[in-house]
Amino acid sequence: MSTLINITPLNGTLARDVRHPLEPLSAEEVRAAVDLLKREGKVTPTTRFVSVALQEPEKSLVHQPDGDTVPPREARVVLFDNAANACYEASLSITGGTLLSWKHVPGVQPTMTIDEQVECEQAVLNSPEFKAKLKEHTGVDDTSLVMVDIWSAGNYGEPEDSTRRLARPLCFLRADPTDNGYVRPIEGLRPVVDLNTMTVVRIEDHGRWPLPPGEGNYAAGRMDRSRTDITPLEIAQPEGPSFAVDGYQVSWQKWKFVIGFNAREGLTLHHLRYNDDGRERSVLYRGSLTEMVVPYGDPGPTQRRKNAFDVGEYGMGMCANSLVLGCDCLGLIRYFDAHLCDSRGEPFTIKNAVCMHEEDYGILWKHTDRRLPDAPEVRRSRRLVVSSVSTVENYEYGFFWYLYQDGTIQFEVKLTGVLSLAAYHPGVTPTHGSLVAPQLYAPNHQHFFNMRLDFDLDGVNNTVHRVDVVPDPIDDANPFENAFHARAIPLTSEKRARGNLSLETARTWKIINPGVLNHVGEPVGYRFLPGDNSVPFASPNAWWRRRAGFVESHVWVTPYQTDERFGAGDYPNQSRGGDGLKAWTEADRPVENSDVVFWYTFGHTHIPRPEDYPVMPSAYIGFTLKPAGFFSRNPANDVPPSPKKGGMSCCH
């Protein structure tokens, strides 16, 4: 779809041309949404804008043929009034300039805004009680070198957890203004901050720990020496890239898709299609990270409350970096900006929030016929990379979508940044983590990610199969006892679809369209191949697990519903739990031969090492989608050979 629509925002200026109905909001559209709500009297001096994002149109309007009417642009807005301690949701038409709906959502705490993070730090630093405790614990009475990281308060069944908007920051002391403050945690002090009033409710004092004695700087300017044996590595595309960009719509090789972005989820992928011999075929309608939780495994008084829902509590898009050529991305790069607004409704742009480029990825396929040894056939693989990186206080998360020439889709998270560190008493060996430096401790923890994959495989009516590899019975039909086969079970209802990985059966999942048959008479399909994974080690009764029901199964399947978007529910911040996937699937709705959504939870268990300090080398985790009967043959068979140096082809 490349139909162009012009949108005139409410402030009278002309917005950029929108080339696809799933493109994210422009800066002008964000401004128009904010202005409309102000004119409608929905914004008070104590109102914060939590998010302003595209309200996506109905699928039928997106799947319509080119040239048909493009749907009007609408926005979905979440607001919070600090004075009333109340959350509101608004839906509005940017094209029509009208407020479509307004509702109060009682008893919830939406995502903490970037502004609140900054204001929370200042509230702690300005607190007389904190200054007194700082002097008592460290001997320092100047807060100019104190670093305060906002941490969500969670919910542990206490009345204040459900009645106040709270944060429980972690505090650190820098040695100088450019020091890595995380290496000197002020372990015994835990401020509790009311974010509605921006006041320190109390300072929880758990005793004194000496500040760790070492240094842990990682910046290039603070290194004693750097390697001198690295020569330049250049990537050149003298004829330009192989992709084309039209707004936020991308065409690359035989792929076509739309890049999305919003304050909560960050990078999203939309309307992914593959051109199969001139026929544009739908594969994935929407792919997004819906939630992630980082639970820590130390029961000590200063660590036991540490867990973070980085999407629902912090906003992965709000934490996105402006990416830098040659550092975050290498090669011939195309960047995409993200247009958001601060908590007071002022639009701002994260420049280069999304990076796109091509990479060589080794051998795509090869065969050498021994009878023709001088004429091997080999093709090099090229992949398209679409990525974004977010910093959530100490941790960095890189989100990478990869598209391949053979129809493969891959998603990968790269985890890096600085460990959440704690001080430890001299001469004591930790049980629930690792010493990474003298008196400096990194607790064991896990990272669980939940992905929402809305397949529209050659149409909206799809079925998910669970595929297990099982041995054949030992009988007369299996005389050498070597036989095994793949057993596919259709998942007909939500409860039946709940499932976990199984190494014993090499378990995968297959998404098919039973109404579209391939050239051998079987339903077209894509296979879901899980990567590394884990299970939660905390008790099912742990407070964080009550709020993160999506970790109870690796795979979930639900019928498509526009209001079921986040694995832990719309508002996990300070919730008591029970929302999201676990609640929805209790209805046990049918999910066969219908518009279904495939949800995947994958976890990384981190037992820290000294080599993860002072900054952590990237860890990788994700999944892969491979065509399985979707095409009639290897769709990358037509990739031309690469030229050898000297002008000769690689296949001669």
Nearest Cα to Cα of residue 151 among 123, 186, 117: 117
Q: Given this model, what pLDDT does residue 4 score?
A: 30
Characterize the bridge pairing of strands 255-262 and 266-276.
antiparallel
Query: Which residue type sits at 52?
Result: V
User: What number is the average pLDDT over the span 507-533?
Assistant: 98
Residues 6 or more apart in contact with residue 477 via CB below 8 angstroms:
483
| Token couple for 383 | 């992949």
Judge whether residue 646 has pLDDT over 90.
no
Dist CA 354 CA 269 (whole Å): 11
Q: Which strand (E) or helix (H) includes residue 452?
A: strand 445-455
Phi/psi for 83 (5° steps) reads -65, -35
Dist CA 148 CA 134 (whole Å): 12
Dist CA 57 CA 73 (whole Å): 8
Phi/psi for 475 (5° steps) reads -150, -170
Q: Given this model, what pLDDT does residue 649 score?
A: 52
Q: What percent of the chain has pLDDT over 90?
A: 91
Beta strands in 277-376 (DSSP E): 279-295, 307-309, 334-341, 347-367
Dist CA 266 CA 288 (whole Å): 8
Q: Given this model, what pLDDT does residue 651 score?
A: 53
What pTM does this model have? 0.95
Dist CA 419 CA 313 (whole Å): 19
Point out the least confidently predicted range of 191-195, 368-372, 618-622.
368-372
495 vs 16 pLDDT, higher one: 495
Contact 578, 546 (CB under 8 A): yes
Point out the least confidently predicted range of 17-26, 180-189, 607-616.
17-26
Q: Given this model, what pLDDT does residue 644 score?
A: 74
**Could you give the dihedral angle defined by the CA atoms of residues 326, 331, 332 and 335, in that order, rounded to the nearest 10 degrees?**
-50
User: What number is the average pLDDT over the span 625-631?
Assistant: 98
- 80-94 pLDDT per residue, tens: 999 999 999 999 999
CA separation, residue 34 to residues 21, 37, 40, 80, 344 (Å): 20, 5, 10, 14, 9
Point out the least confidently predicted range of 13-17, 318-322, 454-458, 599-603.
13-17
* Domains of the chain with bracketed CATH: 27-105 (3.10.450.40), 114-217 (3.10.450.40), 246-418+445-459+493-499+526-606+615-627 (2.70.98.20)
Nearest Cα to Cα of residue 33 among 7, 59, 61: 7
Point out the least confidently predicted range of 322-326, 436-440, 568-572, 599-603.
322-326
Dist CA 358 CA 184 (whole Å): 41
The pLDDT-based confidence of 14 (bands split at 50, 70, 90) is very low
Phi/psi for 205 (5° steps) reads -110, 115
Could you confirm whether 310 is annotated as catalytic?
A: yes
- 103-157 pLDDT per residue, tens: 999 999 999 999 999 999 999 999 999 999 999 999 999 999 999 999 999 999 9
User: What number is the average pLDDT over the span 176-198?
Assistant: 97
Q: Given this model, what pLDDT does residue 12 score?
A: 37
Query: Which residue type sits at 357?
Result: H
- 421-453 pLDDT per residue, tens: 999 999 999 999 999 999 999 999 999 999 999
Dist CA 24 CA 350 (whole Å): 13
The pLDDT-based confidence of 374 (bands split at 50, 70, 90) is confident
The pLDDT-based confidence of 266 (bands split at 50, 70, 90) is very high
Dist CA 619 CA 626 (whole Å): 23
Q: Given this model, what pLDDT does residue 64 score?
A: 79
Q: Given this model, what pLDDT does residue 168 score?
A: 98
Dist CA 468 CA 567 (whole Å): 26
Contact 628, 457 (CB under 8 A): no
Contact 531, 621 (CB under 8 A): yes
Phi/psi for 586 (5° steps) reads -65, -25
Three-state DSSP class for residue 90: strand
Active-site hit among 395, 404, 526, 613: 395
Contact 540, 548 (CB under 8 A): no
User: What number is the average pLDDT over the span 566-583?
Assistant: 98
Judge whether residue 11 has pLDDT over 70.
no
Dist CA 515 CA 584 (whole Å): 27
Judge whether residue 161 has pLDDT over 80.
yes
* Residue carrying structure tokens 């040239």: 67
For residue 67, the 8-state DSSP code is T
Residues 6 or more apart in contact with residue 372 via CB below 8 angstroms:
none
User: What number is the average pLDDT over the span 31-51?
Assistant: 98
The mean pLDDT of the chain is 94
Cβ neighbours around 565 below 10 Å, total: 19
The pLDDT-based confidence of 188 (bands split at 50, 70, 90) is very high
Q: Given this model, what pLDDT does residue 28 score?
A: 97
Dist CA 55 CA 277 (whole Å): 33
Dist CA 23 CA 57 (whole Å): 11
Nearest Cα to Cα of residue 525 among 494, 559, 490, 499: 490
Could you confirm whether 397 is annotated as catalytic?
A: no
Task: Tell me if the bond preceding 614 is cis, omega within 30° of 0.
Answer: yes
Dist CA 550 CA 580 (whole Å): 7
Active-site hit among 149, 179, 310, 458: 310
Contact 576, 162 (CB under 8 A): yes
Judge whether residue 349 has pLDDT over 50.
yes
